[in-house]
Amino acid sequence: MRTDEYYMHKAIEIARQARQEANEPFGAILVKNEEVMMIGENKINTFCDPTHHAEIGLIRKFCSEHHVFDLSEYTLYTSCEPCVMCSGAMVWSNLGRLVYSVSHDQLAGIAGSNIMISCEEVFAKSPQQPEVVKEMLNQEGLKVFEGYQFHV
């Protein structure tokens, strides 16, 4: 049986890969019944699209390719707490469960700024709220940002 830690390791590795490809260091993985359904990485620079975050890019692609709107039976593992835009996509897709590593407060400390509110504040406005597991493998997730300079 695979654990949350197993999938979070993979999401963090995807974040490292995104960084190596000159994108922001964020990665996500969508899982259902212990099967990886899709991976997503930040591609804002690759696609010249400031909205192509790992989570929303994954949700868009998966839902479109599989003709589904309801992700209530899925878990999304992400290397960092999702932003407001990505949290909104999780609400609209009825995501069942979210597991993240680095919190947005930690990210603000690294990046030097923060326009985010917590994902739980976004979810609280919705009748369909995903279960949230916070700061899974937090120290490993933080290592992805060592020496990274955000382009704000």
Q: Are 39 and 28 in contact (CB under 8 A)?
A: yes
Given the residues 55, 73, 81, 146, select the one marked as catalytic: 55
**Is 55 considered catalytic here?**
yes
Q: In this structure, are strands 35-41 and 97-102 parallel, antiparallel, or unpaired?
A: unpaired
* Cα(96)–Cα(12) distance, integer angstroms: 21
- The number of beta carbons lying within 10 Å of the beta carbon of residue 88 is 17
CA distances from 37 to 7, 87, 88, 142, 149 (A): 12, 19, 21, 25, 31
- Gap between the terminal Cα atoms of the chain: 41
Residues identified as active-site: 55
